[in-house]
Structure 1
Amino acid sequence: MSKVFVLGATGQLGAAVVKGLLEKNVSVTAYVRNASKAEKMFAKSSNLNVVQGDYDDLDVFKAAVTGHERLFLMVQSFTDMRGVKYAFAKIAYEAGVKQIVDISCTQEMALSWRSNTVCEVHRESEEAIISIPNRGKFVALRPSGFFSNFFHGDVHTVRHANAIMGCVPSDEKRMWISPTDISLVAVNVLTEPIEQHKDCVYEMTSESLSGDDRAQILSKVLGKDIKYVLRSAVEEYKALTGHGMPHDIAYGLVDYFSLGHVNREKSQYE
């Protein structure tokens, strides 16, 4: 079976992909910033090779990726996502990689061209990779909102206010997906015939839930009354940037969450 190189192997999604591949007895190389962290995360396996490197260590990556047929590409940097993904993809294809599986952005957020910073950097990244001459196959996975991303924030408001908060109307449903589900799809694509998936794009989601739905589920699980509290776009923006999120990313998310439903409704009549 093809050897798989995993970029971002100690992140929540990357780690799940590594574990899923190892369970299928696939030979995996995990590219990580912290090798000792990786050794603690993954059980010892003759099929696992850990390589320490960062986005700037292209020579390290070039030497390590040689001999692999597939690359799982997960880049968390919004600062230069296009540059990082393009550099790693180009080196990988030139080294003989036949398939890249990339985590991109769901089309649900791309209401119009350049409307959202989050989706725009992913779009630019996909276009840059597709334009590489004589490249191998390129599969884009486009998941909807990660459950885990919002639970990181919810845990604080649940603990201190028995509430989850957002700028979306309480009864408006949103598409959600677990990183576990994303990893299962990625593992399938990385282990099935390359020609089966070719240059496919997979829009991914698993649940459609409103703020009230989520609050009800949390109330049942935690055994206490959890409410969904609607806050203004300004309050949402301040909350996101207060936790260190850059302005452009926070603005893009708030713009989508607070106005996206209005824009989608308008588009139905245009």
Structure 2
Amino acid sequence: MRVFVTGATGFLGSAVVRELIDAGHEVVGLARSDQAAASLKAAGAGVHRGSLDDLDSLRGGVTAADGVVHTAFTNISASTDFAASCRADVRAIEAMGEALEGSGRSFVVTSVTALLPPGRLGTEDTPVLEAQPRAASEERALSFAARGVRVSAVRLPPSVHGHGDRGFVPDLIGIAHARGVSAYVGDGSNRWPAVHRFDAAELFRLALEHAPAGARLHAADDEGVPFRDIAGVVGRHLGIPVTALSPEEADGHFAWLARFTSLDNPVSSELTRKRLGWHPVRPALIPDLEEGHYFAGHSGQA
């Protein structure tokens, strides 16, 4: 299968590219820079120049493909406008979905488990919180199932981890190192699901090959790691105290990341495993943290 991949040089997308090539697929990745193009060529993938904002380039990439995997999204950080990123994602999904309309081809989009109601175990069939900004991306994508597209949504947990992680966990470590304390909010019992990047990449491939139209899939190995356990590993490896914060103190300590540190988002992937035969085999989040590679370069680590 010739597969067009957005976000193909990112932390997750590069793992998806490798997974697809190893499975015998031909991959063409979206590249907005010479550096990205060179990285794709080095990985054995083809190059399609463009960006998420260039809708014509997206349509061109889709038209020449047998299937599409959409992993690109503007990273969440203090310097990004999350709502604007979500709107751009919807526009990109609409452009690609319309190009696929009536073709029966596979279209795998990236969603998030944080769309689910907090505080209880969410399943693939649990209704999402429509007020969440990224809910529009998932719902818009899945609407193409009724328009002749074999579309599916892979929901990612707050932590997609592994060597080279650029997400929330490295940011938590950086905050802890800078402030000299590893913190959690309240009693720290709120839970983050997690998955290793290579296990997540396998699920994207399985979805591309086998997922039925309209499927919602959960890329969760850990159903829910208590946040205080994450803080505990960080504190031990950095050699700093671990402490509880009140909700009022969280904003000052965690800054833009504060709204995620109290997230209680336990999720099940049981239906996904049964439907696609997905069996994560890489280290879970805490064992991956314990390996120590997340703390390289942080002076004062234990």
TM-score normalised to structure 2 length: 0.67
- Secondary structure at 2:242 match in 1: strand
Q: Is the 8 A contact 1:35 1:51 kept in 2?
A: no
Matches within 5 A, 1:88-99: 88-93=96-101, 96=103, 98-99=105-106
Residue 36 (structure 1) aligns with: 35
**SS of corresponding position for 1:121:** coil
Cα offset, 1:89, TM superposition: 1.9
Give, as a single letter, the amino acid of the residue that structure 2 aligns with 1:202. L
- Tell me the residue number matched to 1:83: 91
Distance 2:8 2:137 in 1: 20
In the alignment, which of 211, 214, 219 is matched to residue 230 of structure 2? 214
Q: Give the Cα separation in 2 of the matches to 1:108 and 1:59.
A: 29
Residue from 154, 158, 169 that aligns with 1:151: 169
Cα pair 1:154 1:165 within 8 Å, conserved? no
CA–CA distance in structure 1, aligned partners of residues 7 and 174 of structure 2: 26
Q: Tell me whether 65-74 or 103-112 shows the greater mean CA deviation.
A: 103-112
The one-letter code matched in structure 1 to 2:58 is F
**What is the rounded CA distance, in whole Å, between the counterparts of 1:76 and 1:27 in structure 2?**
23
Q: Determine the C-alpha separation between the residues in 2 that align with 1:75 and 1:98.
A: 19
Q: Matched residue pairs, number?
A: 240
> Aligned AA for 1:13?
L
Is 1:228 the counterpart of 2:242? The answer is yes
1:5 aligns with 2:16: no
Scaled by the length of structure 1, the TM-score of the pair is 0.74
* SS of residue paired to 2:188: coil
Distance 1:234 1:197, change over 3 A: same
Q: Judging changes above 3 Å, is the alpha-carbon distance between structure 1 residues 40 and 67 closer, same or farther for their aligned structure 2 residues? A: closer
Question: Distance in 1 between the 2:249 and 2:104 partners?
Answer: 46
1:159 maps to amino acid:
H
C-alpha RMSD of matched pairs (Å): 3.2
1:128 to 140, 145, 170: 140
Q: What SS is found at the alignment partner of 1:104? A: strand
Q: Is the aligned partner of 1:73 residue 2:70?
A: yes
CA offset at residue 34 of structure 1?
1.6
Q: 2:188: which partner in 1?
A: 170
1:102 aligned onto 2:115? no
Q: Where do 5+ consecutive residues of structure 2 fail to align? A: 75-81, 119-125, 266-302
Structure 1 contact 74–103 (Cα < 8 Å) conserved: yes
- More helix as a share of residues: 1
SS in 2 for 1:131: helix
| Structure 2 CA distance for aligned equivalents of residues 203 and 114 of structure 1 | 13
Deviation at 1:100, TM superposition (A): 0.8
Which ranges in structure 1 are unaligned for 5 or more consecutive residues?
262-270
Alignment partner of 1:61 is 2:58: yes
CA distance in structure 2 between the partners assigned to 1:126 and 1:172 by the alignment: 25
AA aligned to 1:110 is P
2:186 and 2:31 map into 1 onto residues whose CA distance is 36
Output one character per residue of 1:202-256: Cα deviation in whole Å (capped at 9) or x when no partner.
1232223223422444466x4x54543322334433455x56x7xxxx65x46x6
Identity of aligned residues (%): 19
Q: Give the match's secondary structure for 1:166.
A: strand
Distance 1:232 1:93, change over 3 A: farther
Residue pair 1:35, 1:50 contacting (<8 A) in 2 also = no
